[in-house]
Structure 1
């Protein structure tokens, strides 16, 4: 039974084979610009925050599901009975389907956040804040997808090794070249199967070959998932790069505005200082002229008095 974190609250948005449908060819401009995700419209900072929290929650669920899927991979590899093997695979597929839906919802939220973050009608500072949170969540989702992809690759390798051991048990005389060739190529696989039926008892051969066929099909499923995750990783990386470029542009623009304001304040202060200096100079000149006039009047008066007394 799935744990509560993995139970789907909504029907799956995509199937196991359709992760590529959310690949790197999505045109953001072609999506309705109502900034909606899961029926929630992004019109205010609080609604933007709610969508961001929802995306973060989806990423958290993805992280937990990856751990569960990895555990189920290990159980499938070491399952000794066909019934247990089938049961584990069924449970793992449920987790995988739920994980696909979680990734789709997280990506949908990121696209809605991206459009809202780049809304030309809001202030550049608000765009920078929204863009910063958006790119941080996009990176977080990309990192989890990379962890998922790496885990699936490792499980494909483990499955190959398990398959090789089954072949070796069934046909000890088979070489490693024959065995791994049979794992990778259908024609080589038929040749090795024929060899196994010739050297083993028929009943035992059928059992081994049935187990081999099931596990070989599982390898194909895992590798298909790896391919889909690779495309999705490229897509999310493009979202990160696209938003980061816009965020850098906004930051540079804001810095230029702040620089211009700072230079303007310096220029205004310089103008005021020059005006004050000019005013002080004019005041001092006026005082000097007034003193000079007083001195001139005093001298003229003194000379007039001296002449009238006949002293000059």
Structure 2
């Protein structure tokens, strides 16, 4: 099995060609994997999601092939199933590479300072959702491989016990984990079995030991992938939270500004109304004064005062 580490920028040549999934159609630069338009961002996200659907199916297929490898007794069939599983694992590695390439391109686009914060928040939200899904798929893949390694060990222990009944459980499990102990147990098997039978048993043991090593290497690589995917989720979530808080602050400031402007307009209107009433009162007072003065003048002229 061959998986490619998550960190670093992958080359387009490393994506692989054996999987029959359509390649990511991005229109991004070959060097920087830069998404230049909103439509290309959406297209990348859709492709990443599609590839993760294929990844999920491949994991299930690898699990079925693991079971066949473990319990197969025919050497020729065992070899054929093993090759099929390895091919499926290689195809799965190619799909993982495509997902990583897409997620990395999306992360660059989501952090583009030249676009509006709201657009960055939308992009970041979609990226976080896809990165979490990818992380969970890798975790399920890793968990399945660990379970298969345990099943392989149990199967190998039974094979040792059948071929060498005198071996203790401690000897058997030490032989599974340690080369020197395995050589010592192989010597006991050679002494207790007929040569042809011993050769067959020891070849089966060697094949299954090698399979355990391969699976554990895959588990180690998947652990690194999961850690890197988790870091991407955390990194992008932190940036997304910062953008959301910034947008909320801007919206709060705008709301306060609108409220302040409204209050200013209300105060101005109230002041205008007060001035209007004062003018009315002054005008009324002047009218009354003129009327009184006129009335008094008339009365004086008639000698009534």
Q: In structure 1, what is the Cα distance between the partners aligned to 2:36 and 2:121?
A: 16
CA contact (8 A) 1:37 1:108 kept: no
Task: Write the deviation string for residues 35-65 of structure 1: whole angstroms up to 9, x where unpaired.
Answer: 5479986221111111111111111111111
Q: 1:96 to 1:17 in 2, by over 3 A?
A: closer
Q: Which of the residues 296, 299, 310 maps onto 2:289?
A: 296
| 1:99-248 superposed matches below 5 A | 99-248=92-241
Shift of 1:309: 3.1
Structure 1: distance between partners of 2:92 and 2:166: 42
Other-structure match for 1:87: 80
| CA distance 1:60–1:35, shift in 2 (3 Å) | same
How far apart are residue 89 of structure 1 and its match? 0.7
Matched, 1:276 2:269: yes
- Per the normalisation by structure 2, the TM-score is 0.90
- For 2:48 and 2:289, the matched residues in 1 are separated by 88
CA displacement 1:208-227 (0-9 Å, x = unmatched): 11111110100000000000
Provide closer, same or farther for how the CA distance between residues 208 and 234 of structure 1 changes in structure 2, counting only shifts above 3 A: same
Give ranges in structure 1 of 5+ residues lacking alignment: 1-15, 29-33
Task: State the SS of the aligned residue for 2:304.
Answer: coil
Deviations 1:52-86 (A, max 9, x none): 11111111111111011000000000101111111
SS of 1:19 mapped into structure 2 = coil
Q: Measure, in 2, the Cα distance between the counterparts of 1:282 and 1:309.
A: 41
> How far did residue 278 of structure 1 move?
0.5
Aligned partners of 2:146 and 2:219 also within 8 Å: yes
Counterpart CA distance in 1 for 2:277 and 2:44 is 68
Please give the TM-score of this superposition, normalised by the length of structure 1. Answer: 0.88
The equivalent of 1:73 in structure 2 is 66
Which residue of 2 is the match for residue 285 of structure 1?
A: 278
Moved more, 215-224 or 182-191: 182-191
Of residues 253, 257, 270, the one that matches 1:264 is 257
Contact 1:41 1:47 (C-alpha < 8 Å) held by counterparts = no
Q: In the TM superposition, what is the alpha-carbon distance from 1:257 to its structure 2 partner?
A: 1.1
Aligned length: 289
User: Which residue pairs with 2:16 in the alignment?
Assistant: none
SS at match of 1:177: helix
Paired with 2:273 and 2:134, the residues of 1 have a C-alpha distance of 66
1:276–1:284 distance in 2 versus 1, CA, 3 Å? same
Distance in 1 between residues matched to 2:45 and 2:29, nearest whole Å: 12
Matched residues in 2 for 1:255 and 1:298: separation?
A: 64
Distance in 2 between residues matched to 1:111 and 1:39, nearest whole Å: 10
Separation (CA, whole Å) in 1 of partners of 2:150 and 2:188: 24
Unpaired runs of 5+ in structure 2?
A: 11-26
